[in-house]
Amino acid sequence: MPIPLIIDTDPGLDDAIAIALALGSPEVEVIGISTVGGNTNLENTTRNALRLLELLDRADVPVASGHDEPYARAKQETGNPPVHGLDGFASVDLPEPKTSVVSTDSPAFMADLIRNSAQPVTLVAIGPLTNIAHMVDRFPEVVPMVGRFIIMGGAAKTGNVTPVAEFNVWHDPEAAKVVFASGLKTVMVGLDVTHSVKTYETEFEWMANHGKFGEVFQQMMKYYTDFYSQFYGERMTHQHDALAMAEAIWPGIMMLEETTIDVETRGELTDGMTVVDDRDRKGRGRNSWVAWTIDGDDFHVRLRNALGALAEPFRS
């Protein structure tokens, strides 16, 4: 039986790949998508989720929108050009969605799905943790019902927005702090592992004869690669969200270490830092696992298979 999966996301170019990876993998069944503000505003991330599902002929997957504003502070700017373009989807040519959200209260939507699932749900968050923090605040009874909880976020070592903070946690540190303290045992797929895998544009060449699917995904990955090449001097990307999704689909695909994690919310230099306390110095107990390594070649084979399955109906 496939694992029921809820995706909380801010699409986002690498979010799009991650969602497609899940939809193309028979090991999981995507039972709901929740949208959050992050890579772009909530209106755009919700529109993108709906447009993507329609492109993939999966408008049957229910989408609920959640929070735009961070949990306890105002939105802040990274100071970088927008990584995912102004609309979050590199302005690719995708029609306006015909479908709409089933709810504008995604914390309640997720809690209902968790409560009503016959099998424990895997919850995967690949954007800021705002919606998840509100869910655990309002519906703490669902916390022990969650099967696994995976996030793309944080970094034990080096950040990407600041020297120590990763974007999803940096965007809403208070939410991340609430989530790490919630009793949800978090698998933190952070930059330690996502920066270890390089995905080259050639990875998407096979899509060329796959009609609208190929056109949209290749345009997205070209934009994302152009952005990366300005910073890294190489035509490659890090597929942060698809890597976290891989751990949700194939538990144990990464080397994980059980540990204690908290989030800095006040530091002048360290705001948004995920502090990994391998010795649990305050005796709070192990609240998470940190992901350290993955076999990048194996990840790419799995990614190709899943996207290939989804793209098949578009083949010309």
How far apart CA 125 and CA 110 sit, in angstroms, is 12
Segment lying near ligand BDR (by CB under 6 A), choices 24-32, 139-147, 166-174, 269-277: 166-174
Which string of x and - marks every residue 100-139 that binds ligand BDR (by CB under 6 A)?
Answer: --------------------------xx------------
Question: Partners of 186 in the beta sheet?
Answer: 149, 288
Min CB(39)–Ca ion separation in Å:
6
User: Quick count: other Cβ atoms within 10 Å of Cβ 78?
Assistant: 13
83 binds, among ligand BDR, Ca ion, none (CB under 5 to 8 A by kind): ligand BDR
- Look at the chain and count its residues: 316
15 is an interface residue for ligand BDR by CB under 6 A: yes
DSSP string over 17-35: HHHHHHHT-TTEEEEEEEE
Q: Is 209 helix (H, G, I), strand (E, B) or coil?
A: helix
Tell me whether residue 25 or residue 162 sits nearer to ligand BDR (CB atom).
Answer: 162
Binding test (CB under 5 A) with Ca ion, winner from 49, 114, 126, 273: 126
According to DSSP, the β-strands at 186-189 and 288-294 are parallel
Residue 15 or residue 192: which is nearer to Ca ion going by CB?
A: 15
79: exposed, middle or buried (Cβ count in 10 Å: 0-12, 13-18, 19+): exposed
Contact 153, 52 (CB under 8 A): no
Degrees (nearest 5) of the Cα angle 242, 146, 44?
Answer: 45
Query: Which residue among 167, 227, 289, 314 contacts ligand BDR (CB under 6 A)?
Result: 167
Strands 274-277 and 254-263: antiparallel
Closest to ligand BDR by CB, 241 or 262: 241
By beta-carbon distance, which residue lies closest to ligand BDR?
167
Cα separation values, 122 from 55, 150, 169, Å? 25, 8, 20
- Interface size with ligand BDR, residues (CB under 6 A): 14
Three-class SS of residue 302?
A: helix
Q: Taking CB within 5 to 8 Å according to partner kind, which of ligand BDR, Ca ion, none is near residue 89?
A: none
124 touches Ca ion (CB under 5 A): no
Which residue of the set 84, 210, 238, 240 is catalytic?
A: 240
Looking at 15, 192, 262, 264, which residue binds Ca ion (CB under 5 A)? 15
Task: Give the per-residue contact string, 238-267, with Ca ion (x = CB under 5 A; - = no).
Answer: ---x--------------------------
Q: Which stretch binds ligand BDR (CB under 6 A): 7-15, 49-57, 86-94, 246-254?
A: 7-15
Starting from the edge strand earliest in sequence, which strands make up the sheet with 148-152, in order? 63-65, 28-35, 3-9, 122-125, 148-152, 186-189, 288-294, 254-263, 274-277
| Shortest CB 1 distance to ligand BDR, Å | 28
- Measured from the CB atom, is 16 or 30 closer to ligand BDR? 16
For residues 153 and 143, give the distance between their C-alpha atoms in angstroms, rounded to a whole number: 19
Whether 210 is a known active-site residue: answer no
The footprint of Ca ion (CB under 5 A) covers: 10, 12, 15, 126-127, 241
Site residues (CB under 6 A) for ligand BDR?
A: 12, 14-15, 39, 83, 126-127, 152, 160, 166-168, 240-241
